[in-house]
A and B are shown apart, each in its own frame.
Chain A
Amino acid sequence: MKPAPFQYHAANSAADAAQLLGDLGDDAKLISGGQSLAPMLAMRLVRFDHLVDISRVADLRGIDRNNGTLIVQAATPDVLVERSDVVVASVPLLTKVTPLIGHFQIRNRGTIGGSIAHADPAAEYPAVAVALGAQMECLSVRGTRMIDAADYFVGIWSTSMESDELLKAIHFPVWSGRVGFGVAEFARRHGDFAIAGAVAAVELDSGNVISRCSIAMFGVSGQPERALSAESHLLGSSVGEISPEEVGRLAIADVESPSDDANMPATYRMSVAASTVATAWTNALTEAHHG
C-alpha cells in the first residue's frame, strides 16, 4: 500500500498550478486534500510522474456570495462548506449534503473541488452541481472558461476538462423565494459510498404551485443523473398532485444505463434510487412549505 514514486510540485497560486499543468502535460495530476487520490495512488490504481499540490494555495480557498451566485473556490475543505453561514444562507443544499460525505476526518481534508473534479458517480457534490445548474470555472494557461454542470460530468471519474485545466471555482446559482431542498441517500454504513441517493430543489408560488424544481440522482450510473421528465411533470402542478412515489418512478425512468453488478443488481439499485428521490422530494416540499 505504498504509492509509486512521483515528483512533487507545490503550487504558489492558481496561475502557478495552471502553468505547472501546462508544462508537465499528461503525466501530471493535481492533488489537494487527496482523500480520493491518495487511496488510488496507494492501491496503484493510478500513477503519475508528477503531483501538483494546491492544498496550500490561498487563492483557491474561500466562499463568496456575489448577488445571485455563490462562488466556492475549489480547494475549500468540505468542513468549511459544512460550517459556513454564507453557504447555509445561499445554497443550503450544500450544507445538507456535506455531513453525508465520508467521515468528519475525511471532510476536514477533502475539498469540494476535489470531489467534483474527481467525479465519482456516488459523490454528493456533483449531484448538487447538476441539480442546481452550477457553472465550473476552469483555468489553464490558455485562459478561463465556464463549463455547465450538465456538460461537465461525462462518466466514471471523467469530466470534460482538458488535462491541462484545473477546476478553479464552482459557481452555484442561489435559489430564493419559497424554496426548499432535500437530500436522501442509502449506504450500508454511515460514510460508505451510497448505493443510490438523490437531491431535490423546489420553488413554490403563493398558490402552492410548483414554479421551479430540480432533481438529480447519484450512484445510479456513471455520472449524476438529472430527472428531467419527472421535473417536467412536476412543473406547474400543485403540491400533492403527484405523489412522491410517482416522482421516484418517473425519475428512475430517465436513467438509461443504470449501474449493474453482482452485489447490486440494477433493479435493486433503481428501486433504492426511486425511494431516495421520493424522500428527498418530500423533504424539499416540506421545507418550502414551512421555510
Chain B
Amino acid sequence: MADTTVGIPTVSVTVNGVLRRGTPEPRKTLADFLRDDCELTGTHLGCEHGVCGACTIFMDGEAVRSCLVFAVQAEGADITTIEGLSAPDGTLSVVQKAMNEAHGLQCGFCTPGFVVSITALLRDNPDPSDEEIRQGLSGNLCRCTGYQGIIKAVKIAAGQSVDANGKAH
C-alpha cells in the first residue's frame, strides 16, 4: 500500500470568496474537504459515486459533482457552495425562494444540489422549456417530492407563469 504521508500537497482554494488552505489526504474528495476541513456542511453526500447529485457545487463557474473531484485536484479553483448562493444577510436567492414557494423540498437532503444545478441551468438557459427543465434536473435525484414541485420551482425562478398544477402558460 502506498505511503500516503509522503508528499501530501498543500491545497489552496477559494470557497465562497474566502481563501482556504489545507493538506487533505489525496484520496479525500472535494466534498469531504468542504464539509470536514472548511466546515461547510451544506454540501450533502448521498451516493458518493456521482449518481445522486446532492454534492453539486460550482467549480470555476461550472456545476460539478464534488464527490468526483479529489480536493488536491481543486488547487487554485474558485468554489461556490450552497452557503455562497444566498446573500450575506441570509436573504434567499431567487431559486431558493422559488423552491420554498413551490414546495420543492420535503426532507431537504437533495436540495443543496438541486439549487446549485437549477442556478446553473437558468444562468445558461434563462427561459427553459419543460423538456429542457426535465433534462436539466436529470442529474439530481429526489426521493421525496416526485419532482413536480421542483419543476414548478424552476418555472417560478425563470419568471414563467404557473398554474396550480405547475403547468406553464
Residues of chain A at the chain B interface (Cβ within 8 Å):
1-8, 10, 31, 33-35, 38-39, 41-43, 49-51, 53, 55-56, 79, 102-106, 108-109, 189-191
Contacts and interface: CB of A to CB of B under 8 A. Distances in A.
A190 to B, nearest CB: 5
A105 B4 contact: no
B94 to A, nearest CB: 20
Interface of B: 1-4, 6-9, 25-27, 29, 47-51, 53, 56, 59, 62-65, 67-70, 72-73, 75-76, 117, 120-121, 134-136, 138-139
Q: Is the interface of B mostly helix, strand, loop or mixed?
A: loop
Given A5-B26, A6-B26, A8-B26, A38 B7 contact: no
Label chain A's interface by main secondary structure.
Answer: loop
A86 B129 CA distance: 27
B27 A5 contact: yes
25 contacts: A4-B1, A4-B27, A5-B2, A5-B27, A7-B7, A8-B8, A8-B70, A10-B72, A31-B70, A35-B68, A38-B67, A38-B68, A38-B69, A38-B70, A39-B49, A41-B27, A49-B1, A49-B2, A51-B26, A51-B70, A106-B50, A106-B65, A109-B59, A109-B64, A189-B138
A106 B51 CA distance: 10
A35 B50 contact: yes
A42 B32 CA distance: 13
A83 B46 CA distance: 30
Q: Which of A4, A39, A50, A102 has the most CB of B within 10 A?
A: A39
A33 B47 CA distance: 18
A234 to B, nearest CB: 33
Contacts of B47: 1
Nearest to B135: A190
Contacts of A2: 27, 48
Nearest to B63: A105
B68 A39 contact: yes
A7 to B, nearest CB: 5
B26 A7 contact: yes
A51 B25 CA distance: 13
